[in-house]
């Protein structure tokens, strides 16, 4: 009796394991707790300090440092649970087109925002 029960249990594990092995879609990685709304994006202006931009927008998705300053970029994806809300992507998208949501900030050596542009 124990052998039959063991064999049935083993067969069930194999069958369920085989059924659940289909490929799953990989979801984009997001920065945790980094939802941003259009209202927050409008809080940052040219002439503000870099620290304000990072405080409001969070950690940038991509950062490039040059001799003249820095370029900070945040990339977003729309949320389904709130209107005009976006999740920050952890990595820069491989393909950037007209539908890509982003914020780009150019900061000088002193940490002052020289250019601020976004598309949400």
Residue 79 placed within a domain: yes
Tens-digit pLDDT profile for the chain (120 aa)? 666 666 666 656 656 655 555 555 556 687 777 788 888 889 999 999 999 999 999 989 999 998 999 999 999 988 888 888 888 888 888 888 888 999 999 999 999 999 999 998
Residue 106: give its domain's CATH number. Answer: 3.30.1450
The whole-number pLDDT of residue 17 equals 59
CA–CA separation, 105 and 63 (whole Å): 10
The whole-number pLDDT of residue 48 equals 94
Cut 0.85: pTM above it? no
Cα 2 to its chain centre, rounded Å, is 51
Residue 17 placed within a domain: no
Residue 16 placed within a domain: no
Name the token pair of 43. 């809080």
Q: Is-contact 57 40, C-beta < 8 A? A: yes
CA–CA separation, 25 and 31 (whole Å): 19
Return mean pLDDT, the chain.
83
Residue 1 placed within a domain: no
């Amino acid at each position: 009796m124990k052998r039959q029960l063991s064999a049935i249990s083993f067969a069930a594990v194999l069958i369920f394991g085989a059924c659940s092995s289909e490929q799953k879609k990989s979801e984009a990685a997001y920065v945790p707790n980094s939802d941003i709304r259009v209202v927050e994006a409008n809080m940052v202006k040219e002439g503000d300090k870099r620290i304000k931009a990072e405080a409001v927008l969070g950690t940038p998705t991509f950062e490039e440092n040059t001799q003249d300053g820095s370029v900070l970029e945040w990339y977003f994806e729309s949320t389904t649970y709130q209107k005009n809300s976006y999740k920050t992507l952890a990595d820069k998208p491989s393909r950037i087109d007209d539908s890509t949501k982003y914020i780009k900030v150019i900061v000088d050596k002193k940490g002052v925002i020289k250019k601020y542009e976004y598309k949400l």
